[in-house]
Amino acid sequence: MSNLTSLQEQNSTASELALSSDPDAWFEQKFEESMQKREAAKTPSMAIVVTKGTLDWAYPPFILASSASALGWDVSLFFTFYGLSLLKKDLDLEISPLGNPAMPMKMPFGPKWFQDVNWKMPNAVMGNVPGFEKMATTLMKKTMRNKGVASIEELRELCLEAEVKMIACQMTVDLFGWDMNDFMPEVADWVGAASFLPTAQHADVTLFI
């Protein structure tokens, strides 16, 4: 063991002597070591621009944000246009299968083979049957509960507990004539896009949903 330690020390000394004779190589090595230490100590960050306010589109930003925050990331969500409704105190989210052929219609009852069927509903049916969106929303919520998927309210609360920054677009509030008192008090800030862009610019991961 002592011979091995002595050999390692000799190799290290030889490397340092070689680098000392080449200042450029020594600087490059020290700079690389410094950058590696800095990168290892850096906290990853994520910025998400949230633009959708339907039940199905509410899941991606909150799932990504809660997952990233659980990994120790710094996460900021910027809610703008229809996405801003996800910050309201009372959520009443629905889905709109009309014109969305990728959305499967699932039945949350009956035998397993029946629940696994993807029901293809013609646009004529979805657009003309009164209350179809309400029914589709109810079926989706029931299916999610059956599969153990957390609700949007639960995911939003998880994000807040993990200190995810919820940022609201002030322009959208003014555009739609909404009252700021309708939104949850945990909103971190009310700003315009120009104020959020530097956050997005410096984030390791930036998404538009």
pLDDT digits (tens, 9 = 90+) for 76-127: 999 999 999 999 998 888 877 655 666 666 666 667 766 665 656 655 455 5
The confidence score (pLDDT) of residue 5 equals 54
pTM over 0.85: no
Q: What is the pLDDT of residue 33?
A: 62
Q: Residue 75's closest CA among 44, 46, 48, 43?
A: 46
| Residue 35 vs residue 181, higher pLDDT | 181
Which candidate, 158, 146, 134, places its Cα nearest to that of 65? 158
pLDDT confidence band for 135 (50 / 70 / 90): confident
Computed over every residue of the chain, the mean pLDDT equals 78
Asked if the model's pLDDT at residue 44 lies above 80, the reply is yes
Average pLDDT of span 38-42:
62
Q: Does domain 45-208 have CATH number 2.40.220.10?
A: no
88 has which bridge partners? Answer: 183
Block residue for tokens 């230490």: 37
The neighbour count for residue 37, using CB atoms within 10 Å, is 10
Instruction: At 160, list the tokens.
Output: 């807040």
